[in-house]
Amino acid sequence: MNNKKSVDIIRDAVFSSSIFKEGGEKTLNQSYIPNELKFREDNIRRISQNFRPLFLSENRGIEGFSTNIALTGPAGVGKTVTARYTVDHLQVMAERHHIKLYTDYKNCWTTRTKTSILRSFLRDQFGVASRGFSDEESTDILIRRLNSEQAYLVLILDEVSVLPQKDIRGFIHLPEEFGAEHRISIIMISRPTEWKVTLSSMVSQRIADVIQFQPYTLEETRKILDYRAHLAFKTTALSEDILEMVAEISDQTKNLRHGIEILYRTGRAADQQRLDELTPELVRRAKNDVFPELRADILEELKTHELFAALSIARRLHHKGITATTIEHSFKNYRIICEEWGLRPNAEAAFRNYLSTLEAIGILGKVTKGVKGRKGVRARLTIHDVPAAVLIERIEVFLSKRFQKS
């Protein structure tokens, strides 16, 4: 290939037309906060109401204010985006009312300790290099700074259950270190299982409000995806049918992130193939990519008894209102399933090994913290991101094929 041609290729790739609007691609990023959050008005209102005292005229930011609230709900229902959206707007409003409000968002998967969260806040907002400072020292700097500026801090801690328990307690008790004038508020976000199992008993007395997020309905999913698609794509790029298809897939899992990711991947693939429209085939392929934990080849790699084990948990979790189950319960289910398929069940020790495999490949989530029963601390089993119904369906179809072949 001569030099000119290679340059042409690059120019072409960079400047060729795209089905995304200019700047549209980034509106489908996880960190993008849209101007409008449909169907989350109640949640936005309720979060905001918790911060009313901050704006009361007699206070006007001069006295102390602090609150801790929690947001909980299943995957992909807008907890993160709603928290960030609301806090961003609270900050703008505070500015208008001459109240100094700092805000910060931390995902505890990325910043995993109280110390690192405090340090990065001090560095980013105040330019203080607190590396090497102890927790107490960092806290002290923060308190002095906020006090001297008569400023407040609202800190969003996303996926908070990842933090060590003592750090979570540390955050909850932070305001008290200010003496009379509290200045730090925390918004904790977590999934319901983690909330129930590890957090609620530990912090609930200090949480002013627990706000539940419910999954969107199909109709709502369709409208939100329509809005998001129009932010991202040129109007000619997608039809009603494609949107309907993506909305239905997203509705299957009740996880809006799947819908948004499918839009994103479908758009990228269309650009790569230089198509000027999203096609059903591209959507289907993108769909398989957004469930990596359920790719057919992963099921193929699993032994039949491991599939039974996955099924035993999925079936239990399929019951309404049950978000986690125990090993004992699943083992009973597993034996029933073995019977259904005419195989002899293996012992509980083997069953536990199947669970470990499922955990290692990411189908299963295990929450071991917290729940103390008669038998000591018991593991609680959950499934990751994939709804139980989808998992059941795919495993059963797969098992039928496997049994037919043999």
Ligand X SMILES: Nc1ncnc2c1ncn2[C@@H]1O[C@H](COP(=O)(O)OP(=O)(O)OP(=O)(O)O)[C@@H](O)[C@H]1O
Cβ atoms of 33 and 88 within 8 Å: the answer is yes
Residue 157 near ligand X by CB under 6 A: no
Q: CB neighbours of 55 closer than 8 A, spacing ≥ 6? A: 93, 94, 97, 99
| Span from 1-9, 252-260, 286-294, 388-396 in contact with ligand X (CB under 6 A) | 252-260
3-state secondary structure of 153: strand
CB of 323 to Mg ion, least distance (A): 16
| Span from 36-44, 168-176, 275-283, 387-395 in contact with ligand X (CB under 6 A) | 36-44
Q: What angle do CA 346, 348, 353 make, to 5 degrees?
A: 90
Closest CB to Mg ion belongs to which residue? 80
3-state secondary structure of 86: helix
The site string for ligand X over 46-75 (x = CB under 6 A, - otherwise) reads: ---------------------------x-x
CB of 28 to ligand X, least distance (A): 7
What is the four-CA torsion angle of 319, 320, 326, 329, rounded to 10 degrees?
A: -30
CB of 78 to ligand X, least distance (A): 3
CB of 255 to Mg ion, least distance (A): 11
Stretch 305-324 residues interacting with ligand X (CB under 6 A)? none
Within 10 A of 246 (CB to CB), how many other CB atoms are there?
29
Q: Which one among 66, 80, 82, 138 touches Mg ion, defined by CB under 5 A? A: 80
| Span from 43-51, 78-86, 226-234, 350-358 in contact with Mg ion (CB under 5 A) | 78-86
Q: Rounded distance, CA 259 to CA 243, Å? A: 9
Q: Rounded distance, CA 401 to CA 238, Å? A: 36
Q: Which one among 34, 164, 179, 292 touches ligand X, defined by CB under 6 A? A: 34
Give the bridge partners for 101, in sequence order: 152
Residues at the contact surface with ligand X, assessed by CB under 6 A: 30, 34, 37-40, 73, 75-81, 191, 224, 228, 256-257, 260
Name the residues that contact Mg ion, by CB under 5 A.
80
